[in-house]
Copies of this chain bind each other. A is one copy, B any other.
Amino acid sequence: MITGKNYIGAELSAIGQVTYKTVNPETNSENDTVFYEATDEEVNKAVTLAAKAFRTYKNTSDTDRATFLDAIAAELEAIKESLTAIYRKESGLPEGRANGEFARTTGQLRAFATMLREGSWVEAILNFSEGKPDIRRMQIPLGPVVVFGASNFPFAFSTAGGDTASALAAGCPVVVKSHPLHAGTGELVSSAIIKAAEKTGMPDGVFSNLNSKGIEVGRTLVQHPLVKAVGFTGSINGGTALCKLAAEREEPIPVYAEMGSVNPVVVLPSALQEKAAFWAEQYAGSITAGTGQFCTNPGLILGIKSEAFDKFTTVLGEAISNIAPTCMLHPGIKQQYDKNKQYVLSQSGYNEVAAPDLKIGENYALQHVISVDGEVFLKNKAYHKEVFGPFSVVVQCEDKAQLTEVLEHLEGQLTGTVLNENEAELYEFAETIEALKGRVGRLIFNGVPTGVDVCAAMTHGGPFPATSDSKFTSVGLTAVKRWVRPVSYQDWPDALLPKALQNNNPLQIIRTINGKVTRNAV
C-alpha cells in the first residue's frame, strides 16, 4: 500500500504540512495518493539514523550485504505487479519498458551481490619486505550517502537503482531523496528495501526514503554534516547546484552527478556510402526511444557534406516523421522540452530536417530534427546544448578538419559513436576519433548510444558536464568505487586486520602482494 509517508528507516512518518500528488501524464490527471514532504526534523532524523546504522553496517561481511541485496531483488519481485502498475501511472511509460527496467533493476542488485560474494572488489594490496614496514591497504565505505532519484528511470536510476545498489554494496547506508514525479513508485520500492533489511538483519536506518516536491529537502540533505557523499542523476542545473553546495560545506563531500549529454554520432563517409538508409532508420528509432528521454539520446549527428550525407539526412527526416509520438514523463517535462526546442529553433542558420505537424495527446512530444553547417555550429553554443526529448541536430561539416574541430569544441559527453564500413578509413580519421575520445566516457562503434549495458567494463560517465566527476561511472560494477576510500594498515596484528588483509586470505580474494596478483595466502 502506498501511504504518502516518508520512511525514516522502518518507520513511516508524515509530520509535515507540505503535500503533493503525482500525475499520470497519459491521462493528464493526478494520481490519488497525497505525499507528505519531509520536514527538516524528518531529514535530520533519517540522516542521524543512517549515521547510527553505519556503525554496524560498515562492519557487516560482504556476504551479509550480498544477502541483503538479493533480498531486495526478491522483495521487489514479490510486488512486481503493483510496482509496474504505479510506475506506469506515474511515468506514462509502456508495459514493455516497465518490465525491462524492472529486470534491469533486480539484475543490478544481484550483480552487486555477486561482486560482494566474490569479494575482490576491496582492492587489497599488501607490501612487506625486510627492513620495511608491513603495509596493507583496502577500500572502506565513506558513510551515509544521499541518492537523488532520476525522473526518467523510476526503477533503474532511482530508489533501488544503481546508486543505491552500489552504495549499499559498499557498506554505506542510503537516504533517498525521492523524485516527486514518481513518489508512489519510490515509496513502494522503499517498502521492499525496508522489508529486505528487516529480514536479513540489517540495522534500522540503513535505508530511508524522503518525499520532496521542491529543492529544500535535497539542499538540507547535501548540507547535513553526517552525509558523506551524494549520487545524483538529472539536469546540469540541478547537478551543478548540488556540487556547489557540497563544495561550500565545512567538510566538502563528493557529489557524483550524471547530468546528461548530447551524445555525438560521427557518420563517416563509408557508412554514408554503404548504409545511409540503414543508419537513418536506426537513428530515427534511437532519437525517439523513450520519447527521447534517455541520457544517451543521440542529440548530435555529425558528418562531412556529401550527397550521401544528404540522403542520410533525408531518410532520417522521413523515417522519424513516420514514428508515432509518445508521451513524456510529466507535463512539466513536456513544457520544458517545448521551451528548450523553441530556444534552439529561434536561432538562425539552420534547416529543417523533420518537423512533423501531427495531432498529439496532451503530454506527447513532437519529434524534431534540424541541420546546421559546421561553421554555424561552431559559432553558436545554442546548438550544443541538450534538449531533453526527441530532438536532434545534424551537423554538416565542410571537411575532416572541420569535423575534428567541432568535436574538440564539444562539452563533455557520456557517449560518442562512430559509424564506419571501412577499416582503412578509421586510420584516416584517427585524429577525428581521438578528438571524440577526448570528450566522452564511452566510444561506440556501429551502433546507437541508447541502451547502457550493466557490466564491469561499462563507463556511464564522462567529462564535465556529462558528469561532475569523469573518474567514475554510475552504471556497472565499478560504480561501487564512488562510495569508498582506501585505508592502509601499518604493522597491524594479523588477527585484528580485516579478513581481506589477513595472512591466510580467509576470503580467498584476489590480492596484490608485493606486486604479484594472487589468491595465495601470505
Which residues of A approach B to under 8 Å, CB–CB?
A: 55, 59, 118, 120, 125-127, 132-133, 135-137, 140, 142, 243-244, 247, 251-252, 254, 412, 423, 426, 433-434, 437, 440-447, 451, 453, 455-459, 461, 463-465, 468-473, 478, 481, 484-493, 495-496, 510, 512, 515, 517
> How far, in Å, is A74 (CB) from chain B's closest CB?
23
Q: List residues of chain B with CB within 8 A of the CB of A125.
A: 456-457, 478
Select A252's contact among B446, B451, B468, B484, beta carbons within 8 Å.
B468
- CB of B457 within 8 A of CB of A487, answer no
Q: List residues of chain B with CB within 8 A of the CB of A434.
A: 55, 59
Q: List residues of chain B with CB within 8 A of the CB of A515.
A: 118, 456
In Å, the complex CA distance between A118 and B512 comes to: 13
**16 residue pairs bridging A and B, Cβ less than 8 Å apart:** A125-B456, A127-B457, A132-B453, A135-B458, A137-B457, A137-B459, A247-B247, A254-B471, A423-B493, A441-B488, A444-B490, A445-B491, A456-B512, A456-B515, A471-B486, A473-B486
Residue among A140, A457, A473 with the highest chain B CB neighbour number at 10 A: A457
> How far, in Å, is A411 (CB) from chain B's closest CB?
8
Q: List residues of chain B with CB within 8 A of the CB of A137.
A: 456-459, 478
- CB of B127 within 8 A of CB of A445, answer no
- CB of B496 within 8 A of CB of A423, answer yes
Select A441's contact among B132, B412, B486, beta carbons within 8 Å.
B486
- CB of B423 within 8 A of CB of A469, answer no
Beyond the given A251-B464, A444-B490, A461-B486, please list 6 additional residue pairs across the A-B interface where CB-CB is below 8 A.
Answer: A127-B453, A243-B247, A252-B464, A433-B496, A443-B488, A459-B487
Select A469's contact among B254, B442, B517, beta carbons within 8 Å.
B254
- CB of B423 within 8 A of CB of A488, answer no
- A127-B456 CB under 8 A given contacts A247-B243, A252-B464, A254-B471: yes
In Å, the complex CA distance between A43 and B122 comes to: 41
- CB of B489 within 8 A of CB of A445, answer yes
Q: List residues of chain B with CB within 8 A of the CB of A437.
A: 140, 487
Give the residue name and chain of the B residue nearest to A246 (CB).
B247
- CB of A487 within 8 A of CB of B132, answer no
Select A490's contact among B433, B447, B472, beta carbons within 8 Å.
B447
Q: List residues of chain B with CB within 8 A of the CB of A469.
A: 254
Q: List residues of chain B with CB within 8 A of the CB of A446.
A: 491
Q: List residues of chain B with CB within 8 A of the CB of A493.
A: 423, 426, 445
Residue among A446, A488, A489 with the highest chain B CB neighbour number at 10 A: A488
In Å, the complex CA distance between A440 and B137 comes to: 13
- CB of B496 within 8 A of CB of A133, answer no
Select A457's contact among B451, B465, B470, B488, beta carbons within 8 Å.
B488
- CB of A136 within 8 A of CB of B485, answer no
Q: List residues of chain B with CB within 8 A of the CB of A251.
A: 412, 463-465
In Å, the complex CA distance between A326 and B488 comes to: 31
- CB of B254 within 8 A of CB of A243, answer no
